[in-house]
Amino acid sequence: MESAELIAILREVRERVRARNPATAAGGIDVALPDLLPLVHARDAALGKVAAIGSVNPRSGGLVNAVVQTWKRLVARVLDWHVREQVEFNRKILTFADAVIEANRQMNQALAEFSARIAEQQNVAEEMKDTRNHWASWRAEWEHKLSENEIQFLRSVADLQGGFQHRVTLMEASHRDLMHTHNVDFHAALERHGFDIQKRLWADLEKMHTEIERIIHSELRLVRQRAQVSAPVMGGAEAAAPATTPPLTFDYARFAERFRGSEDYVNAGQQIYLPYFEGRKNVLDIGCGRGEFLKLMRTAGVSAKGIELSAESVAICRSQGLEAEVADVYPYLGSLPEGSLDGIFCSQVVEHLPPDRLPELIRLCAQSLAPGGVIAIETPNPECLAIFATHFYLDPTHTRPVPHPLLIFYLEEFGVGNIEVKRLSPAKDSMPALNSLPEDFRDAFFGALDYAVIGRKL
């Protein structure tokens, strides 16, 4: 094959390769790829030389030329054994050149693809540039906001902790107050229940004491009745009735107003009897006077009636809408049915009676009282020596003072028990000079001007 034909074939192959791979530089980046055309041209030239080995240069016609050409062909055949290895070596070199060209072509193609990828990465980098710049500014702003949020969070945590501590303190205080209230309520309820139990216990003990006293009184009464039946009869005539007390010749109401005290003073002193008579249904006031006790009972809603020897005092009571009548205590009590009264009040009366008639009065009172009925007797206190120098002998109708042990004995004798003594009107209040005495001596001899004995029918 001639060199010109070989060069033409190589050119056509090159054009086809260029048509297949038109780019000789990396696409989007400024990286120049190696040009393989000089290497292809050198290979083509080497192929031409290899193809010319063993051929004879043509010459113009003629005998000499023919001889020369014949001689050259003979020499070429003779030297063929000598250059055969060189020809093989040259062909191997050309094969190596083809392999190098193909490798360079593939490298150019790989570089082109790599440059395309780098271009894509550059485009992505360009696109990310704004994002990166935005990210930098956003990160600075975010760090600033993070710092502010952290400060705000710490403040909020501090506020929450303060609020929580405050609420814990309030809850603790509320819990303590609640526990204190519960404790107080518990102790109050415990004390109240204990008081109720104690009250019921004392009530039961009082009932037992009353029952025991009633049994003792009944036994003593039975013994006395038996003794009276067995004793000889002493005369059949009854004792003569005592002479009637002559009427007073002065205004006793005016006398009581001056020396006993005003109605308000007496009413204030009688308030201590209200708990004993509350809830009673039928109460009798013996010696009702101006009606202070009757008004007290009316205020408490207790049905009460008074008896009095003085018609003037009864008129005063009736003018105030109080129930009172003129009556002698002995016939009046004797006419009442047994156990018809629920309570008896007798204030400043027994000291006016003859000593021998006092037991009869107590007997009639006890007979008129229903079981459980209350009797209250108030009188001057002979234990207080001051009454003999002042109050007692101011009233000319007083006969003699009644010591409270004697009055208690009479009450117990006729079936009245659960007796208690109350000392009233301390002498030192009306006579300040007594305050200079020793306290124990004053209490023993100048204690209360009056006393009251309160008992219940057994």
pLDDT for 258: 55
pLDDT digits (tens, 9 = 90+) for 214-264: 777 666 666 666 665 544 433 333 333 444 445 555 555 555 555 565 667
Q: At residue 285, what are phi and psi to the nearest 5 degrees?
A: -105, 110
pLDDT for 26: 45
Amino acid in position 214? R
Estimate the share of the chain in helix, then strand, then coil, as percent rounded to the nearest 5: 65, 10, 25
pLDDT digits (tens, 9 = 90+) for 264-284: 777 778 899 999 999 898 999
pLDDT for 231: 47
Instruction: Please count the structural domains in the chain.
Output: 2
The one-character DSSP state at 231 is: S
pLDDT for 261: 58
Spatial strand order of the sheet with 448-457 comes to: 324-326, 304-308, 283-286, 341-347, 369-380, 448-457, 416-426
The one-character DSSP state at 262 is: -
Single residue among 91, 107, 139 that ends a domain in this structure:
139
Domain that holds residue 282: 255-457
In the block, which residue shows the tokens 């309520």? 185
The one-character DSSP state at 435 is: G
Is 151 a member of any domain?
A: no
pLDDT for 18: 61
pLDDT for 215: 76
pLDDT for 257: 55
Mean pLDDT per 10-residue segment, the chain (458 residues): 68 65 50 69 73 61 72 72 73 81 82 81 79 82 89 91 90 90 88 88 82 72 59 39 47 56 73 91 91 92 92 90 93 92 93 92 94 93 80 77 92 90 86 83 84 93
Number of H helices, E strands in the chain: 15, 7
Is 260 a member of any domain?
A: yes
Alpha carbon separation from 446 to 13, 182, 238, 347, 408 (Å, rounded): 160, 49, 43, 21, 21
In the block, which residue shows the tokens 């003794």? 227
Is 243 a member of any domain?
A: no
- Residues 6 or more apart whose CB falls under 8 angstroms from that of 151 comprise none
Q: At residue 16, what are phi and psi to the nearest 5 degrees?
A: -65, -40
8 Å CB contact between 313 and 253: yes
3-state secondary structure of 325: strand
Residues 132 and 269 in one domain: no
Single residue among 124, 139, 154 that ends a domain in this structure:
139
Is 228 a member of any domain?
A: no
Q: What tokens were used for 50?
A: 């290899």
pLDDT for 242: 42
Is 56 a member of any domain?
A: yes
Single residue among 139, 165, 194 that ends a domain in this structure:
139
pLDDT for 259: 53
In angstroms, the first-to-last Cα distance of the chain is 169
Q: What tokens were used for 69?
A: 């050409």
Amino acid in position 123? N
pLDDT for 61: 62
Residues 127 and 276 in one domain: no
In the block, which residue shows the tokens 């509350």? 278
